[in-house]
Amino acid sequence: MALAPDVTELAFAIGAGPLLVATSRTADYPPAALGLPRVSPDDVEAVVARSPDLVLATTAGNDPRVVDRLRGLGIAVCTFDVTSLARLVDAVSLAGRVMGREQAAAALAADLSTRIAAAGRRAATLSRRPALYVVWWEPLIVAAPGTFHDDLLRLAGLDGTAPRVAGRYPRVDPEVLLDTRLAIVVAPDEPDVRATFTAVSTRPVAGRIRSGATRVIWLPADAVSRPGPRLVDALELLVAAREAAP
């Protein structure tokens, strides 16, 4: 059983999708995942009722108290903590071991590693620029060091400017958007995030964005928001966007 969209995607990517007895309500990729029974990740009773041999969870989206309770009930839980693209590759290998798909996982891990390295080489030809990853525009929530989003910026040749002492995803003063060093803002492209951007974009704090001094790069929301295999797609798209308008 998978309790988050990213580990659901990971299971399918290594050919273990047919082993899943259920997944979280928000899991919608790959399309085959839509046919699985749904459970709320916080509903311990519903999880137990499915009698899973193994539960896949993630620190990015699951309540650790739920994980502890499941383990206390004797249910095996494998928790993935993907805070960088290198750790994504490690997560692929781990998934292969715990789900008996070592060969497929090794092939996927090798492919992802090759693509990450290639994207890094392309990014190395571009000038490094200060950047910010925006999770939400109002209030302004950004990705700080220690997150896969910050690592995404780094691999794309960007230097994250988020505060380093306020947690992984701090709420910050919108005035940071007026920082004259800030060249690029990266954000997930989804309707709700676009709506908050529209509200903020008319205000004085968005002056540099309106003038084009700070560029906004929108990336597919699911790929960039879920630390699964498609995170590498997001990296490649970010590098390509930088190459298109360096």
User: What pLDDT score was predicted for residue 228?
Assistant: 96
Look up tokens 């960007």; give the residue: 158
Do 29 and 98 fall into the same domain? yes
Residues 6+ apart with CB under 8 A from 16: 95, 99, 100, 101, 104
Q: Which of 89, 118, 147 is the last residue of a domain?
A: 118
Q: Are 117 and 95 spatial neighbours (Cβ–Cβ below 8 Å)?
A: no
CA torsion sign, 224 to 228 to 231 to 233? negative
Mark whether 150 and 81 lie in a shared domain.
no
Whether 131 and 28 map to the same domain: the answer is: no
- pTM for this one? 0.95
The Cα 14–Cα 210 span in angstroms is 43
Number of domains the chain is built from: 2
206 and 180 in one domain?
A: yes
Shared domain for 62 and 83, answered yes or no, is yes
Q: Return the pLDDT at 28.
A: 95
Q: For tokens 């676009």, what's the residue?
A: 194
Distance CA 202, CA 177 (A): 13
| pLDDT tens sequence across 177-233 | 999 999 999 999 999 999 999 999 999 999 999 999 999 999 999 999 999 999 999
Clarify whether residues 132 and 205 are in a common domain: yes
Q: Which amino acid is at 190?
A: E
Domain range holding 233? 125-244
| Boundary of a domain, candidates 96, 118, 140 | 118
Looking at residue 219, its pLDDT comes to 98
Same-domain pairing of 176 and 214? yes
Q: Which residues pair with 24 in a beta bridge?
A: 39
CATH label of the domain that carries residue 14: 3.40.50.1980
In degrees, rounded to 5, the angle at the alpha carbon of residue 238 between the alpha carbons of residues 116 and 155 is 40
Flag whether pLDDT at 9 surpasses 80. yes
218 CB neighbour count, 10 Å cutoff: 17
Nearest to 115 by CA among 229, 244, 243, 1: 229
pLDDT (tens digit, 9 = 90+) per residue, 25-73? 999 999 999 999 999 999 999 999 999 999 999 998 899 999 999 999 9
- Token digits of residue 47: 């999880």
Mean pLDDT over residues 110-128, rounded?
98
Q: Are residues 10 and 66 in the same domain?
A: yes
Same domain, 166 and 68: no
Q: Tell whether 13 and 63 lie within a shared domain.
A: yes
Q: What pLDDT does residue 60 have?
A: 82
Cα(144)–Cα(153) distance, integer angstroms? 11
Task: Report pLDDT for 167.
Answer: 85
Q: Where is the domain boundary, 103, 118, 133?
A: 118
Let me know whether 132 and 112 are in one domain: no
CB 241 within 8 A of CB 184: no
SS (H, E, C) the chain: CECCHHHHHHHHHCCCHHHCCCEECCCCCCHHHHHCCEECCCCHHHHHHCCCCCEEEECCCCCHHHHHHHHHCCCCEEEECCCCHHHHHHHHHHHHHHCCCHHHHHHHHHHHHHHHHHHHHHHCCCCCEEEEEEEECCCCEECCCCCHHHHHHHHCCEEECCCCCCCCCCECCHHHHHCCCCCEEEEEECHHHHHHHHHHHCCHHHHHHHHCCCEEEEEEHHHHHCCCCCHHHHHHHHHHHHHHCC
